[in-house]
Each structure stands twice: as C-alpha cells, then as structure tokens.
C-alpha cells in the first residue's frame, strides 16, 4: 500500500482531489456528507495504489529476467490480481461511504455509477469469452503434449527420431496450428479430411506443410479436423465480437468534470479510475488470450496527466500495441508469451522435419531435440498456469457481479426516505 | 511404499503367467483375466516399462520363433529383472520377416477407400495385424539391436494409428454406415442392453432427446452395442500403442457434434449476459421456462449417457476415458451453466423470485446425482461450476427476496386510498409472501446461506419455526410494511380515517397470515401483537371520531340534574349536527372486513346509543324542555345511521 499521509497528497498539486476540491470549494456549496476529508484521502490513496499496481505491471516489460515476463501467463495472473485489488478498494470506498450515511443515489454520482455498472455487465460476457479462449489454449496443449511425447518417446534418447515419431508429431502440430488460426482464417467447418475416400495417402508431409503455410500467411481455408474442433470452441454466439465488446466497455468513459468531482467529494474520480482500470484490464486480457473476433481498436479517451495512473496506463496500452504490431505476432490468436512460444516451436519443428530423409541427420535431430525441450517447457508452464488463470477469470466474473449487486443495492436502498 | 508393493504384485503376476501359460492362447487368456482384474496391471504404468515388458515377453515366449507368439494386448507386465536378450538374437531375422509380412497386410488396409469396419471380418483381420505389429514393435524396442527395423515398424504403426483414428471417428459419428454388430468375444453389453431394440431401425430413428420427458431415469444409447464393442477394440489398440491422447481427442471431437445437436434440439438460445440484462422480463421468463427442462435433460440424461458411453468405449483404459468425456461435454455444460450466472447477475426485481427459485431447485436437486458422473479429477471442475451456479442462484434468490424490502420502502405515500381501504402494497406484499411460503424450504435454505450443505444436511433445516432465518426475515418485512403503512396513514387529514386505514390493512394482513403458512412462520406472539394493534386502531378511531359526540352527550352524573334545560337542548342540537357531519363524511369510509365492520359499528352503537337515550330521557323529564322538544332522531334512527357507516358509498 502506498503512503496515504496528507503531506504527500497536498504536495502533489494538481493531482489530488484535495486540491481539486479546494479549487472549487468557494464556488460550490459542499454536501455535508462529503466534507469528510478522510474520504478524500482514501480516494487519493486508491488512485495512487492503482497507479502503483499498473506501474508494477509495465515494469516487467523492460525487465526481461523477471519471473513473470510481460504478457506471460504469470504476468496475466498478476494483471488480474491487480484488478481484483483495485475493485476491492473501490468497493470499500463506495460502501464505506454508503455505510457512513453518504448518499450514492444522488446526482451526478448515481449517473456515473450506473454508467460503471453497465460497463461491468459487458465485462462479464468478456470473462466468459476469455474462459473459452483459455480452453482453446488447453486444447492446444493436448496436441503439444502429443507432439512432445512423440518426439521424446524413444527409449534410446540418443538415437535420432524416426519417421513414425516425426509423422505423429507433425500430425499433432498440424492440428494445433489449425486450432490456433485466427477466426477470420477459418471458413465454415469442412468435412474432416479422412484417409479413406480421398487420395491423400502418402502425402502427409506436404499436407502438414500446407496447413502450416496457411497459418503463417493468414490464408483462407481450414479443411482439416481443426476447423471442426474450432467451431465448437466458442460458447458465445457467432456474431459476438470481443472487439466490439471492448468498444462498448470503453465507450463514453470520459474524464469527470471538475464540477462533478467537487460535488461528489472526489468520488466521481474514483468511479472514473475504476472504469479506466476495468477497461484497460479487459483490453489487455483480450490482447493476450484468444477470443472470438479479437481486436484492439478500442481505446480510451486521453487521460489527463493529473491522474497518477495516467502514465502507467498509457505505457501499458503502448507496450501491448507495440507487441501486437510485431511482424511475427500480427496473426497470433493471442499475445500471450506462451502462445508465441507454441507458434515458434511448432513452426520450427514443422520446418525442420519437412524432409524425406529418415532418420534425421544429426544437426536436424539436435534442432528437433532443442525445440522439443522448449515444447516440454511450454507444456509445463501451461499446465501450471492455465487452471489458476481460468479460476482468476472466474473470480473476476464473480467479484464484478458481487460488486455490481452491492452498488445496486445501495443505489436502490431509499436512504432519503429513512434519513 | 506403494510402488514397491506394486512391483511385487507385477512380479507375482509375471511368475504365475510363466508357470501356467504353457501355450500362447493360455497366456493370453490369463493376461486378459489379470488386466481386467486390476487396473494396475494394464496401461500407463506399463508404458514406462515397456522395454522391460517386451523383453520379458520374448523370454516368456521361450524363443519359439513363432511370429504371433507375443500377446500384444494387453502389454506384458514388467519382470523384476531384465533378461539378457540372448534369445532374441536369432529372432531378429524372423522379426524382419514379420515386419515385411505385416507391412504387406497393413498397407492393403490403410489404403482402403472405404471403411474397414464395414466388413467385420476385415476389421478383425486388421486388428489382428495391428496387435501383431504392436507386439513386434515392443519386441524390437526391447531388443534395441535393430534400429532401422524398429523405425520401419514404428512408421507402419503410426500409419495404422492414423487409420484407426479415422475409423474410430467414423464409427462414432456415423454408426449406421457400418454393418451391424461385429461378432467377437466382447459380449459385455448384453445385460445393459435390455432397453435397446435392434429392430427399431436405430439409424433412422432421430435421437430420442427432443421428446417431452417427465421421467429422467433414461439412458440414451447413441451407439448400438456392436459399434460400442468395435470402437472399444480400436480404443484399446490405440492406447496400447501409446496413442491414448490422440484417441481421447478423436473421441471428443466425434461426440461433440452429437452433443451440440442434442442441446440445440432443446431449443436453447445462447444469450450473452448483456442480452439477459436488457431482455424484457416476459421474454427472459420464457427463456427460463425452456432452460429448466433443458438443463435437467442435459445433466440428467445426456451427460450421464455420454459418461456411460465413454466408460464403455474406454473400459479399462483410464484415464483416457475421463479426458475424452470432459473434452466432449465441457462446452455445452458450461454454456448451460452460464445462463444461470447471467440470470443471477441480472435485475433483482421481486417478481423474478419464483422463476429463479425454479432454476435453483432444478440445479440443486440434481447436484447429488452428478457425483458419480463427474467423479474423476478431470471433470471435478465441471462439478464445481454446477455447485457454483447453484450458490449464485441461491444468493440471487436471497437478494431478490431482500429487494422486496426496498420495494416497500420506496413505495411513496403520495396518493391515499379512498375511504381508508386496503392499500395495493399491502395486497402485493401479502400475496407475494404467501406465494413465497410455497417455496419456504428453498427460501430457508438460501437465507441460512448454508449452501455448502445442499443436497445433504440442508434438508434438516426446519423453516417452520419463528426463529428460522426466513421467519425472521419475513417478520422484518412485515415490520417494514407496517412502518410504510404508518407513514402512508399520515397523509389522511382526518386522524380517524388514518386509524381506519391502518385497521383495514392490519386486518387484511391478519387474514392473509392466518390463511397460509405465514402464520406458522410469524408465530402466535406476532399474531397477538398484530391483533392488539388492530384493536388499538379501532379504539383510536372511536375516540377520534366520536369524542365530541360523546362529550356533547355527556350529561354528567346524577348530581348534574340541575343542568338547565336550555343547555340540554343545546346539546341535542349539537348532537344532531355532529351526527349529520359524521355520517356525511364517514359514509364514504370503508371497513373492508365484514366482521370488523360489525364490531366497530356495534362498539359505536354501544357507547352512543345509551348516552343519547339518557339525554333524551332527561330532556323529556325536564318540564321546561319538554314543551318545545323536537326529537329529530329516535335512538333507533341513530343506530340505523351508525349501521350504514363504512360501506364506502359515495354521496
């Protein structure tokens, strides 16, 4: 937790609500409920803590040796942790105020809160889509495990890999590649390419290569079993779009007017902060994890530098956008570091093994072994990281629901009637 | 150590096999018995020691040189010590011959343009070849002396597996393409198949899932027993050859189409949470009405049937069956569950209570039955999601029920009910609570928040006591209603009318409580208190409305006989005026309850009539007054006027 002493708040002129409020103090009659300065400290502290958390997240961008490198599964889990912390603090501020007899249901706060609650609902659908995305990665992992097992199955590990192992691994990697194709690359699920009834025997090497080329060049058809699997990966309707959902979450999220900030005793800023964090986290998750109709076009209206979290938030957006523009990531189904590793290893393996020469020559076999090691390592980190991440996404879902319900309760509870 | 014990067990089995198994078939039979007997004697454990197992197999075969000497399936348990492969060296050449022969045989099969399983004899031959090949690969692998031949056999095996996978999927996806029931020794299905009628034209029959079902004790047999047996045979070979994961994936991919279609037939439309939030309640109610039977159908019939099918296809092949099962059903299961999440997260308008209770009960009631279906570690997460949605629906019910309180509090006291009658909020709340009482077991369960105990100990909760959470909460709601009504009574400018209003609503509440299980929940104390309140309001009314009448009729005790006649006449005039006034105003007032109306009239009569009669008799006995005495109302007239009060007739 950052320091919450009043001196630091007071010195950050132009940043704190104390000062913002002071500016308007003489013009706007202040609500007796909101004149408690400890509320203001709390709101300031909340914002600075959000800034710290975001800062931590963007710091690992530069620090390549960290345990949880940028956009890795571990980093994504930290992102979710940070979000949950922010949400909890936000909730504590609002409900604390409600308990202290403050009135959340008074304009303009009621309108701001209802806006926030609408965004929150939209995040719930996103959480469900993200869960599907994580399941897609889990399906990918199954193919990875098959490939890895095939390539390291020989009882004599020194012996070069034989054609059977390579063939088996390539089949798994081909299924994997199709699974990871971006949605737009998959046109309606075609009949599975069976070995009988079609003259495709003895061509599995080039067959596999064909799939691979399609994925890297963003081609247009997927006729293998993967597209069949793929069509079943999403539980949301076919027209649903993560990209549009993000736009809806970020839409209309504007900097609160000074008048509103003052009239709400700074709460308007807290609501804005939470809205921005909600959007940023949703955006980063969509960037990282496969989703139906992914897209990062949605953006936040410029955040004034007076908000302590403005700078790290902008950095976060920029870094992720940079990553998404990298040549080898453009067509990824997600920016997750592990997805990149999967793509790299499987591409390498498919390229190296695109040969008719068996057993593999020593240099190629060494390359295969190396890639296999990396494959095994990715399998391990997916095994350790996917389940906790999925649980966190569920936690995010449930906590958003809970917070939303609590705020709604406060808004609907007729404080005025009794007090 | 457990592992140590296992090793000993395996060694013992090995020993028994060697001692008893004098011929190949006997060995195979014994092994089969063992592998069926104990999961430890088959599968994954054995893969780790495949080399050792195969070496032992060579030794066990006694170097007989027979090409089919190795029982390929299930794999041999490992021996405690690895025998030197001395006996294997002369076998290498024969192995080469074996591989060549198998290559010829198998190549014919894998290049076939039609399903191999369309012809059961061919299928058997192919399986036999695959078995031989698996055994040969194991032998070669164990010997480790002929790498090129092993690679060749391995390559051949991988082609077999690819073909088997395709056949496997085809058999599951289109069982009717295949000739019926392949004969073979695997008749494990008969006892379970009584409800399956093979003459039914199984293939043409649509899956019986869309028919209305009231009895959920039904199992769908998506595959005819013959196909199940075929598919099991393939699965076993794939697992034996180390292709278990591929097999599980192929299975899941092949089943998903069926599962998706089955769920689609239930008429469930997938809704985003966004949609659920913005949907008009009538439409959402319609969705819920479809969801409940669909949910039961899927979790009580479809998924258990999938489990059964999967268990039979992967019988003895754990954990691949578990992997395959989860992969097959996960998406549809989660999709159904997420509608529950969406409804829970949506509006908490009180009218939603009953539909959400229906949803909750549907989920809660099937939870215990899910345990055997989702018992393995892979599907534990699904089981947890069903529990979670049950909890979420439970807290949603709690929230909706609480929302009733807000609804009462928010109900504004702007317009008064004419004549002090029963307020709509009183009717709404009482009828709502009465209806809610019909689900009081469930309500009590969610109020207690003891959702962890759902399906088990929760039944022990007794909602029929005034100290239960539900009863306390209902008493609280009654309190809130009472306060709200008191506030509303203040808008009547006539205080007696306010009393009438409270009396009316109080009486209505008592009536509704007595008429339902609410009485049990609120208890006798509450009822006594409520009745005394109504009495108090009645007295307050009488005092407020009739006080001046009574005071004007007051002629004092016997000592006031000296009251001048003029004053008495004045009193009579005033009484007449008051009576007119009261009757004019109060004829519009209402007492809805007949008994209460009678009681109040009688009470007024009882106090007014004797006093009036005494005034008149005084006047009559007064010589001065008696002269120009004009009695406008006889005591009977007065009583009649009183009897016409509270009928709510407007002027």
B295 and B338 share one domain? yes
Distance, in Å, from the CA atom of B500 to the CA atom of B534, rounded to the nearest integer, reads 9
pLDDT class of B341 with cuts at 50, 70, 90: very high
Query: Is residue B185 assigned to a domain?
Result: no
pLDDT class of B434 with cuts at 50, 70, 90: very high
Least trusted range by pLDDT, from B177-181, B392-396, B463-467, B481-485 = B177-181
Whether B376 contacts B319, CB under 8 Å: yes
pLDDT class of B569 with cuts at 50, 70, 90: confident
B485 touches chain A (CB under 8 A): no
Q: Is residue A289 pLDDT above 80, yes or no?
A: yes
DSSP state of B185: S
B287 and B394 share one domain? yes
Whether A290 contacts A73, CB under 8 Å: no
B431 and B491 share one domain? yes
pLDDT class of A339 with cuts at 50, 70, 90: very high
What pLDDT score does A415 carry? 58
Query: Is residue B194 assigned to a domain?
Result: no
- 3-state SS, residue B301: helix
Distance, in Å, from the CA atom of A412 to the CA atom of A409, rounded to the nearest integer, reads 5
Q: A281-290 burial, b for 16+ CB within 10 Å, e for fewer?
A: bbbbbbbbbb
Distances (CA, A) of A230 to A64, A147, A213, A233: 34, 19, 18, 5
Whether A104 contacts A407, CB under 8 Å: yes
For residue B586, the tally of other CB atoms under 10 A from its CB is: 24
Helix (H), strand (E) at residue A217: helix A204-217
DSSP state of B647: B
Distance, in Å, from the CA atom of A359 to the CA atom of B143, rounded to the nearest integer, reads 19
Domain of B286: which CATH number? Answer: 1.20.1280.170
Q: Is residue B198 pLDDT above 70, yes or no?
A: no
| Location of structure tokens 């000993």 | B8
Across the range B237-242, mean pLDDT stands at 94
B513 and B490 share one domain? yes
Instruction: State the smallest CA–CA distance between residue B403 and chain A in angstroms.
Output: 8
Whether A269 contacts A261, CB under 8 Å: yes
Chain B, residues 253-312, CB within 8 A of chain A, namely 253, 256-257, 260, 270, 272-274, 277
pLDDT tens digits, B537-560:
999 999 998 988 888 887 665 555
Chain B, residues 16-55, CB within 8 A of chain A, namely 50-51
Enumerate the domain spans of chain A: 5-186+232-393
Distance, in Å, from the CA atom of A169 to the CA atom of A175, rounded to the nearest integer, reads 10
Q: What is the 3-state secondary structure (H, E, C) of B33-60?
A: HHHHHCHHHCCHHHHHCHHHHHHHHHHH
Compute the half-sphere exposure of residue B310: CA atoms within 13 Å on the CB side of its CA: 32
| Location of structure tokens 């808004």 | A411
B267 and B399 share one domain? yes
Domain count for chain B:
3
Helix (H), strand (E) at residue B167: helix B147-173
For residues B25 and B443, the model is more confident at B443
Query: Do the Cβ atoms of B161 and A168 come within 8 Å?
Result: yes
| Location of structure tokens 């047996």 | B229
B514 and B577 share one domain? yes
Whether B176 contacts B203, CB under 8 Å: yes
Closest by CA to A132, choosing from B333, B604, B389, B177, is B333
pLDDT class of B635 with cuts at 50, 70, 90: confident
Q: Check residue B523 and give left, alpha or beta (phi > 0: left; psi -120 to 50: alpha).
A: left
Distance, in Å, from the CA atom of B292 to the CA atom of B266, rounded to the nearest integer, reads 10
Across the range B572-585, mean pLDDT stands at 89
What pLDDT score does A165 carry? 86
For residue B333, the tally of other CB atoms under 10 A from its CB is: 26
Q: What are the strands, taking DSSP E only, across A23-150? A: none
A167 touches chain B (CB under 8 A): yes
- 3-state SS, residue B590: strand
What pLDDT score does A99 carry? 65
Query: In chain B, what percentage of residues exceed pLDDT 90?
Result: 45
Query: Do the Cβ atoms of B113 and A196 come within 8 Å?
Result: yes
Whether A141 contacts A341, CB under 8 Å: no
Instruction: State the smallest CA–CA distance between residue A224 and chain B in angstroms.
Output: 12
List of long-range contacts for B443-447, beta carbons under 8 Å, 24+ apart:
B443/B357, B443/B397, B443/B401, B443/B470, B444/B468, B444/B469, B444/B470, B445/B364, B445/B394, B446/B360, B446/B394, B446/B395, B446/B397, B446/B398, B447/B398, B447/B401, B447/B473
Across the range A157-175, mean pLDDT stands at 83
Candidate from A197, A235, A401 with C-beta closest to B334 = A235
What pLDDT score does A68 carry? 80
B431 and B404 share one domain? no
Q: What is the pTM of this model?
A: 0.78
What pLDDT score does A54 carry? 95
CB contacts of A142 in chain B (<8 Å) are 245, 249, 327
Token pair of A131 as six digits: 């869960």
Which residue of chain B has the CA closest to A245? B274
Whether B115 contacts B170, CB under 8 Å: yes
B301 and B164 share one domain? no
What is the number of residues in chain A?
419
pLDDT class of B347 with cuts at 50, 70, 90: confident
- 3-state SS, residue B293: helix
Compute the half-sphere exposure of residue B552: CA atoms within 13 Å on the CB side of its CA: 18
For residue B183, the tally of other CB atoms under 10 A from its CB is: 11
Q: Check residue B79 and give left, alpha or beta (phi > 0: left; psi -120 to 50: alpha).
A: beta
For residues B198 and A402, the model is more confident at A402
pLDDT tens digits, B74-96:
444 444 444 444 444 555 578 88
CA end-to-end distance (rounded Å), chain B: 98
pLDDT class of B45 with cuts at 50, 70, 90: very low
Cβ partners under 8 Å of residue B111, min gap 6: A201
CB contacts of A387 in chain B (<8 Å) are 381
B596 and B540 share one domain? yes
CB contacts of B155 in chain A (<8 Å) are 162-164, 167, 358
Distance, in Å, from the CA atom of B625 to the CA atom of B567, rounded to the nearest integer, reads 10
- 3-state SS, residue B491: coil
Can you name the residues that pair with B590 across neighbouring β-strands? B647
Distance, in Å, from the CA atom of B56 to the CA atom of B129, rounded to the nearest integer, reads 21
Whether A217 contacts A265, CB under 8 Å: no
- 3-state SS, residue A223: coil
B494 and B617 share one domain? yes
Verify cis geometry, omega within 30 degrees of 0, for the bond prior to B74: yes
Token pair of A272 as six digits: 């804005």
Token pair of A71 as six digits: 């956009």
For residues B567 and B1, the model is more confident at B567
Across the range B325-329, mean pLDDT stands at 94
Chain A, residues 280-309, CB within 8 A of chain B, namely none
Query: Do the Cβ atoms of A401 and B344 come within 8 Å?
Result: yes
Token pair of B289 as six digits: 């009405």
Token pair of A353 as six digits: 């093994």
Across the range B518-533, mean pLDDT stands at 93
Whether B229 contacts B184, CB under 8 Å: yes
Mean pLDDT computed over every residue of chain A: 78
ipTM above 0.85 for this complex: no
Chain A, residues 331-360, CB within 8 A of chain B, namely 358-359
B372 and B474 share one domain? no
Query: Do the Cβ atoms of A405 and B154 come within 8 Å?
Result: no
A117 touches chain B (CB under 8 A): no
B475 and B611 share one domain? yes
Distance, in Å, from the CA atom of B434 to the CA atom of B83, rounded to the nearest integer, reads 81
Distance, in Å, from the CA atom of B13 to the CA atom of B26, rounded to the nearest integer, reads 14
Helix (H), strand (E) at residue A314: helix A310-325
Helices (H) and strands (E) in chain B, counts: 24, 0
- 3-state SS, residue A213: helix
Query: Do the Cβ atoms of A164 and B242 come within 8 Å?
Result: no
Q: Check residue B556 and give left, alpha or beta (phi > 0: left; psi -120 to 50: alpha).
A: left
Cβ partners under 8 Å of residue B561, min gap 6: none
Q: Check residue B51 and give left, alpha or beta (phi > 0: left; psi -120 to 50: alpha).
A: alpha
Mean pLDDT computed over every residue of chain B: 79
Domain that holds residue B594: 424-451+466-644
């Amino acid at each position: 937790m950052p320091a919450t002493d009043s001196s630091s708040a007071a010195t950050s002129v132009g940043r704190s609500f104390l000062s913002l409020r002071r500016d308007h103090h003489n013009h706007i009659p202040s609500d007796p409920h909101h004149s408690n300065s400890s509320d203001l400290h709390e709101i300031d502290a909340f914002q600075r803590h959000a800034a710290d958390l975001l800062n931590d997240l963007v710091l690992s961008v530069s620090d390549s040796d960290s345990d949880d490198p940028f956009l890795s599964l571990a980093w994504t889990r930290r992102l979710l942790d940070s979000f949950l912390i922010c949400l909890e603090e936000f909730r504590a501020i609002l409900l604390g105020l409600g308990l202290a007899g403050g009135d959340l249901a008074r304009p303009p706060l009621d309108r701001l809160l209802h806006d926030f609650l609408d965004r929150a609902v939209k995040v719930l659908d996103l959480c469900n889509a993200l869960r599907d995305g994580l399941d897609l990665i889990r399906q990918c992992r199954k193919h990875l495990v098959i490939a890895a097992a095939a390539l390291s199955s020989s009882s004599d590990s020194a012996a070069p890999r034989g054609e059977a192992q390579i063939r088996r691994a390539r089949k798994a990697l081909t299924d994997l590649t199709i699974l990871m194709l971006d949605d737009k690359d998959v046109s309606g699920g075609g009949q599975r390419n069976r070995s009988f009834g079609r003259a495709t025997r003895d061509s599995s090497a080039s067959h596999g290569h064909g799939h691979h080329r399609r994925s890297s060049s963003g081609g247009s058809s997927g006729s293998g079993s993967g597209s069949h699997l793929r069509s079943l990966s999403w539980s949301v309707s076919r027209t649903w779009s993560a990209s549009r959902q993000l736009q809806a979450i970020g839409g209309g999220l504007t900097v609160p007017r000074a008048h509103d900030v003052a009239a709400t005793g700074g709460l308007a800023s807290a609501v804005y902060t939470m809205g921005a964090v909600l959007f940023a986290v949703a955006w980063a998750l969509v960037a990282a994890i496969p989703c139906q109709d992914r897209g990062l076009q949605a953006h936040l209206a410029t955040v004034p530098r007076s908000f302590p979290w403005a700078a790290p938030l902008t950095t976060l957006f920029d870094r992720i956008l940079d990553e998404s523009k990298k040549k080898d990531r453009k067509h990824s189904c997600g920016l997750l570091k592990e997805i990149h590793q999967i793509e790299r290893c499987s591409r390498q393996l498919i390229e190296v093994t695109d040969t008719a020469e068996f057993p593999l020559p020593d240099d190629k076999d060494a390359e295969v072994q190396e890639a296999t090691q990396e494959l095994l390592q990715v399998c391990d980190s997916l095994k350790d990281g996917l389940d906790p991440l999925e649980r966190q996404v569920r936690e995010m879902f449930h906590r958003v629901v809970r917070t939303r319900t609590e705020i709604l309760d406060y808004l609907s509870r007729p404080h005025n009637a009794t007090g | 150590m457990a592992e140590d014990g296992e090793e000993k067990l395996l060694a013992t089995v090995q020993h028994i096999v060697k001692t008893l198994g004098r011929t190949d078939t006997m060995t195979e039979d014994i092994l089969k018995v063992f592998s069926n007997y104990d999961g430890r004697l088959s599968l994954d454990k054995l893969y780790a020691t495949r080399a050792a197992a195969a070496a032992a197999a060579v030794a066990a075969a006694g170097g007989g040189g027979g090409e089919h000497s190795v029982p390929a399936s299930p794999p041999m348990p490992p021996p405690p010590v690895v025998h030197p492969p001395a006996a294997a060296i002369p076998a290498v050449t024969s192995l080469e011959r074996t591989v060549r022969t198998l290559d010829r045989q198998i190549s014919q099969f894998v290049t076939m343009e039609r399903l191999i399983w369309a012809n059961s004899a061919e299928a058997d031959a192919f399986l036999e070849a695959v078995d031989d090949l698996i055994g040969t690969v194991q032998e070669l692998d164990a010997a480790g002396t002929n790498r090129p031949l092993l690679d060749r056999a391995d390559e051949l095996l991988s082609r077999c597996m690819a073909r088997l996978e395709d056949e496997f999927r085809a058999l599951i996806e289109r069982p009717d393409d295949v000739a019926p029931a392949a004969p073979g020794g695997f008749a494990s299905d008969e006892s379970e198949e009584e409800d399956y009628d093979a003459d039914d034209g199984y293939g043409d029959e649509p899956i019986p899932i869309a028919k209305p079902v009231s009895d959920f004790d039904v199992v769908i047999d998506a595959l005819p027993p013959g196909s199940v047996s075929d598919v099991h045979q393939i699965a076993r070979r794939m697992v034996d050859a180390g292709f278990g994961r591929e097999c599980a994936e192929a299975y899941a991919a092949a089943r998903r189409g069926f599962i998706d279609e089955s769920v689609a037939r239930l008429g469930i439309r997938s809704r985003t949470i966004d949609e659920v939030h913005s949907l008009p309640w009538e439409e959402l109610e319609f969705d819920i009405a479809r969801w409940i039977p669909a949910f039961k159908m899927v979790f009580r019939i479809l998924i258990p049937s999938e489990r059964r099918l999967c268990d039979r296809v992967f019988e003895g092949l754990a954990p691949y069956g578990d992997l395959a099962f989860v992969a097959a059903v996960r998406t549809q299961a989660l999709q159904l569950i997420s509608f529950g999440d969406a409804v829970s997260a949506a509006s908490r308008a009180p009218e939603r209570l009953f539909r959400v209770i229906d949803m909750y009960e549907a989920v809660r009631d099937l939870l215990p039955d899910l345990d055997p279906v989702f018992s393995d570690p892979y599907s534990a997460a699904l089981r947890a999601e069903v529990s979670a949605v049950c909890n979420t629906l439970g807290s949603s019910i709690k929230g909706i029920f609480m929302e009733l309180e807000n609804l009462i509090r928010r109900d504004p006291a702007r317009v008064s009910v004419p004549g002090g009658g029963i307020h709509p909020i009183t009717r709404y709340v009482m009828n709502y609570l009465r209806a809610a009482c019909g689900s009081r077991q469930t309500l009590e369960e969610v109020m207690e928040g003891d959702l962890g105990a759902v399906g088990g100990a929760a039944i022990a909760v007794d909602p029929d006591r005034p100290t239960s959470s539900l009863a306390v909460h209902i008493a609280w709601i009654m309190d809130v209603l009472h306060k709200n009504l008191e506030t509303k009574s203040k808008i009547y400018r006539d205080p007696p009318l306010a009393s009438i209003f409270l009396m009316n609503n109080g009486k209505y509440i008592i009536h509704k409580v007595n008429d339902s299980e609410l009485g049990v929940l609120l208890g006798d104390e509450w009822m006594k208190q409520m009745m005394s309140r109504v009495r108090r309001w009645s007295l307050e009314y009488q005092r407020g409305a009739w006080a001046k009448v009574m005071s004007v009729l007051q002629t004092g005790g016997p000592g006031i006989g000296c009251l001048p006649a003029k004053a008495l006449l004045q009193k009579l005039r005033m009484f007449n005026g008051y009576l007119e006034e009261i009757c004019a105003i109060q004829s519009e007032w209402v007492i809805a309850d007949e008994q209460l109306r009678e009681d109040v009239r009688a009470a007024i009569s009882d106090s007014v009539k004797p006093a009036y009669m005494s005034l008149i008799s005084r006047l009559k006995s007064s010589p001065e007054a008696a002269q120009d005495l004009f009695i406008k109302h006889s005591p009977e007239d007065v009583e009649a006027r009183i009897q016409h009060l509270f009928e709510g007739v407007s002027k």
